[in-house]
Amino acid sequence: MKKIKSYLKYYSNFAMPSLIFAICFILSKKFNIFKISFDKISTLIDVSASFIGVLLTILTIYLAVPKNEQKKERLRTSYHEYIYLSNILTGIILFFLSIITWIFLDTVMLSTLFFLSGIANMAIATYYTFILIKLL
């Protein structure tokens, strides 16, 4: 069980968004839950752009916090730094994909699925921000 938990933590940047994407996709096919108007999807895209800014701010906060070399090395060897930074990067990419699919493909469902997947990465990154700042 501990090995599975470690595996999910290490690959949380891919596992959690994929899980949310799959669940929401299945729900949308079964219950058609993504009947979103044009006004609402444009608001969702605005929120996606704002969340990209939030993730960049979280990254800036992490990079700006002074770090002790010993603690910094411990974060690297425990892979927490990788988990943290990969979740931030994946979240930015997913929110960006949400915007791009809305602009070029004009598909509400896919844009919403990318948005919801990006929220998972943002939640993990926010959690790690508070945990890592306490450790540093």
Q: Express each pLDDT in 33-72 by its tens digit.
A: 777 777 788 888 899 999 999 889 888 887 887 777 777 7
Distances (CA, A) of 9 to 79, 87, 94: 10, 10, 19
How many domains in the chain? 1
Q: Express each pLDDT in 95-111 by its tens digit.
A: 999 999 988 987 888 88
- pTM recorded for the entire structure: 0.85
For residue 33, the enclosing domain spans 2-135
Using CA atoms, how far apart are residues 3 and 64, in angstroms rounded to an integer? Answer: 33
pLDDT at 32 over 80: no
Using CA atoms, how far apart are residues 84 and 73, in angstroms rounded to an integer? Answer: 15
User: What's the longest Cα–Cα distance across the chain?
Assistant: 52
Per-residue pLDDT averaged across 77-93, rounded? Answer: 85
Name the H helices within 67-107. 69-77, 80-100
